[in-house]
Structure 1
């Protein structure tokens, strides 16, 4: 099954495609002026290492040199892995030339809402 979530920002759009891959999940996040594959994060749910009942996550990251998509992809992969208790891969990239701090904050709020 595949689900698509779209968010319009004041300066562009974000698209998140969530695909079931057997018992696992694949997230593809694209948007901005130059959508690309800037980062891939693999998040694996596991029991907490502190003994709490909260699900922990172990993540591995592949990042394109010079790209800053890790914060978004890591957040999305880890949140979905933790919440759904499924191995989750998030791939994606969002780019806007000369992005401002206010615009970055807008992207982060949209990503949190989408996930």
Structure 2
């Protein structure tokens, strides 16, 4: 099968305040990837994932990995928005409902999730 799948996320964490650009940038990037770049959406719903909850963000990333594996496709994950490093090996992508000081159950610990999905 093969192919190329893209999951584009735009997220502004309520606790950190509005940045003003992630949602539009994510929408533009998704549009360009799917209309000009030859990428297919990794979502069952058309468009980028905007201001997801932590639960939605985690579920969408896992679903994108599963779809890419089934399709034997390359997977591009793009995140535009708030993120925070809490140590050398800890980086969290912040969802709309994440707190200012995240933990593994309140934000997406990207290193851990990618490691688990690639394993």
Fold shared, TM-score > 0.5 on shorter chain: no
Q: TM-score of the superposition, structure 2-length normalised?
A: 0.29
Q: TM-score with structure 1 length normalisation?
A: 0.30
Say which structure is richer in helix: 2
Structure ranking higher on relative contact order (CA contacts 8 Å, 6+ apart) = 2
Q: Which has the higher strand share?
A: 1
